[in-house]
Structure 1
Amino acid sequence: MTYTQTMSQQAYQQNQFQTASPGELTLMLYNGCLKFLRLAKRGLEAENYEEKNKNITKAQNIIRELMVTLQVNDETSEQMLKLYDYVHDQLVQANVHNRKENLDNAEAIVTEFRDTWKQVIQVDRQNRHQGGQLPV
């Protein structure tokens, strides 16, 4: 990739972040976390522990961000917080003990969150384009 291509890609990504809705930003966080989990698995399989650690740390940072920005005001959000905490613990265990199954556990939950969140965004878009409102 050339310098110009890299700069164009960075500008595009910056624009994506600046124009994204809060829901789209959350979706980006889930996708980023999944990307780092896959890279951590690759590092673990290649016994590249520095790469594994770097990517698990990035995934942990995303989970922490999701935890601190979650508004815990009902049973559903309390359950989400518990699942985020579980995912974070699985990442710690994977990093300390080099266990792929912990990464698999974390990935499964983050994938469920991401897929559900993606559906919510799609329904919201459909409702807005049809002039409808989501129920409160």
Structure 2
Amino acid sequence: MANPYQAYQQNSVTTASPGELTLMLYNGCLKFIKQGKAAIMSKNIQDKNTNLQKAQKIIMELMTTLNMDIELSKQLLPLYDYINRRLIEANIKQSVEMLDEVEEMLSGIRDSWKQALQITRQNNNTQKQAVGRV
């Protein structure tokens, strides 16, 4: 019998919109950064490395999926590149401070993305209601 939580997670991913998937990636990256920081503080080198590499893979996925025809993507690419380099450096130097910096930056991007998704949903709902009244 499959784990119900895993089934729920799988269903969440397969039914999510591209915008929601991006939000999931941001949240996952932040989770791995936090776990990496905790591993540094507890001196667990293996967990630190594993979690920070997972965070790097997510940043690389965000980089490769950017649509460079969109101006925002052109602005996000160097930011993602910087975050990726800082993750590598933080992993090598075991620097919680570097991870704090990256976490703050990524939280800001995630929060902005989440707000944009909410506005888009509200606009879509308003349009559907207007069409229903016609």
Matches within 5 A, 1:92-131: 92-131=88-127
Instruction: Supply the distance in 2 between the matched residues of 1:95 and 1:102 (Cα, whole angstroms).
Output: 9
Alignment match of 1:63 (pick from 53, 56, 59): 59
Q: Given residue 59 of structure 1, which amino acid in structure 2 is its aligned partner?
A: A
Aligned residues: 128
Any idea what SS the aligned residue of 1:130 has? helix
Runs of 5+ in structure 1 lacking a partner?
A: none
Q: Once the 2 structures are TM-superposed, how far is the Cα of residue 101 of structure 1 from its aligned partner?
A: 1.2
- CA distance in 2 between counterparts of 1:55 and 1:87 reads 15
CA shift, 1:102, in A, is: 1.1
Equivalent residues in 2 for 1:6-17 (5 A)? 7-17=3-13
* Structure 1 residue aligned with 2:35: 39
What is the CA–CA distance in structure 1 between the aligned matches of 2:11 and 2:69, rounded to whole Å?
A: 32
Q: Work out the CA distance in 1 between the residues paired with 2:63 and 2:18.
A: 15
Match of 1:81 in 2: 77
- TM-score normalised by structure 2 residue count: 0.91
Taking a change above 3 Å as real, the CA distance of residues 74 and 11 of structure 1, as seen in their structure-2 partners, is closer
Question: Identity across aligned pairs (percent)?
Answer: 49
RMSD: 1.3
**In 2, distance between residues paired with 1:11 and 1:76?**
34
Residue 74 of structure 1: CA displacement?
4.3
- Tell me, in whole angstroms, the C-alpha distance in 1 between the residues paired with 2:71 and 2:12: 32
Alpha-carbon deviation of 1:123?
A: 0.2
Residue deviations 1:27-74, cap 9 Å, x none?
A: 000000000000000000001111110000000000000000001124
* Aligned with residue 48 of structure 1, among 44, 47, 54: 44
CA deviations over 1:69-115 (Å, ceiling 9, x no partner):
00112443212100000000100000111111111111111101100
SS at match of 2:110: helix
Distance 2:31 2:10 in 1: 18
Q: 1:28 aligns with which of 24, 29, 38?
A: 24
4+ runs of 1 displaced by more than 3 Å? none
2: CA distance between counterparts of 1:76 and 1:28?
19
